[in-house]
Amino acid sequence: MNVLMIGDVVGEAGCACFRRYCPQLKQQYQAELVIVNGENSAKGNGITPQSANALLEAGADVITTGNHCFRRRCDQVFDHPRILRPANYPEGAPGSGLTIVDLGRVQIAVLNLMGTAFMEPLDNPFSIADALLKTIDTPLIFVDFHAEATAEKRALGYYLAGRVSAVVGTHTHVQTADEECLKGATAYLSDLGMTGPADSVLGIVPAQAVDKQRFHRPVTFTEADGPCILNGACISVDRTTGKATAISRIFLRESHDR
Ligand SMILES: [Fe+2]
Ligand SMILES: [Fe+2]
């Protein structure tokens, strides 16, 4: 069976891009589940009920998030069983980092974790993964590891290799080209990339990003406009064993004259 995992959707333009291409991608890849990172889906960053609904209505089955999950203070978003925040937020934080999707013949677990290198000092993602894996009784397990450091991502990939179907990274908004099946069992990609405006710095108006980096002063970021890219991966798994058999990157770029 095939599962699509889509990288951080940025703003209204990113949501609209996801909506334009999700149906055809699902058909093209014969995907039975679509997992989308929505931590930047709201206009002005974060996730809101509106942006979450836009992704769900466009075809997302599960929404994962990351360090911007609570930015808009919309805790109620995480009451939805298929909208996750990283599981290693301290106990008592709103929401959950794990969901089990029941597709009838198969159950698919989606686990969202966040890195701690150059990020918030959350609970140890390796330990939390160990604890949560003990509670899951389906072999089909997909992990979105929202992290900054490639070394931390690859380390978690190897740590979970053979125990989950896929470990893919999100957060950097730039797709990496290191897809492989670790131990012949676990699909891995350091970062899925971004779904949002192509002419941008990680989705943001370039001049604002330049201002921020050049002068080191606070800048209000706005999403860029123009044609978008859609980044992600298709992961093929054996539905009985949960082992990944293939991973292929998706990098779709809209033309200027769309
Ligand atoms: Fe992001
Ligand atoms: Fe992030």
**What is the pLDDT at residue 257?**
66
**31: pLDDT strictly greater than 80:** yes
What is the distance in A from the centroid of ligand 2 to the CA of 195?
Answer: 13
245 CA to centre of ligand 2 in angstroms: 28
Ligand 2 midpoint to CA 147 (Å)? 7
The question of whether 80 is a catalytic residue gets the answer no
pLDDT for residue 258: 63
Distance of CA 57 to the CA centre of its chain: 17
- Confirm whether pTM is higher than 0.95: yes
What average pLDDT does the chain have?
97
Q: How far is the CA of 241 from the centre of ligand 1 (A)?
A: 32
Structural fold of domain 2-253: Purple Acid Phosphatase; chain A, domain 2 (3.60.21)
- Among 68, 146, 171, 173, which one carries the catalytic annotation? 68
Tokens representing residue 246 in the block: 């293939």
> Any long-range contacts for 92-99 (C-beta under 8 Å, 24+ apart)?
94/70, 95/69, 97/128, 97/132, 98/132, 98/135, 98/136, 99/62
Q: Are 241 and 139 in contact (CB under 8 A)?
A: yes
pLDDT at 199 over 90: yes
Q: In degrees to the nearest 10, what's the CA dihedral of 30, 33, 39, 42?
A: 70
Summarize the confidence of residues 22-31 as an average pLDDT: 98
Per-residue pLDDT band at 150 (split at 50, 70, 90): very high
How distant is the alpha carbon of residue 126 from its chain centre?
18
Q: Closest ligand to 45 CA?
A: 1
Q: What is the mean pLDDT of residues 200-205?
A: 98
Which strands form 180-182's sheet, in the order they lie side by side? 98-102, 107-114, 141-146, 166-170, 186-189, 180-182
- What is the residue extent of each domain of the chain? 2-253
Angle between helices 49-58 and 11-28 (to 10 degrees): 20
Q: How far is the CA of 121 from the centre of ligand 2 (A)?
A: 14
Nearest ligand to the C-alpha atom of residue 119: 2
- Residue 146 CB contacts under 8 Å (≥ 6 apart), including other chains: 37, 39, 64, 65, 66, 67, 86, 112, 113, 114, 115, 169, 170, 171
Q: Where are the beta strands (DSSP E) in 7-161?
A: 8-9, 31-37, 62-64, 98-102, 107-114, 141-146
- Mean pLDDT, residues 96-124: 98
| 256 pLDDT tier (thresholds 50, 70, 90) | confident
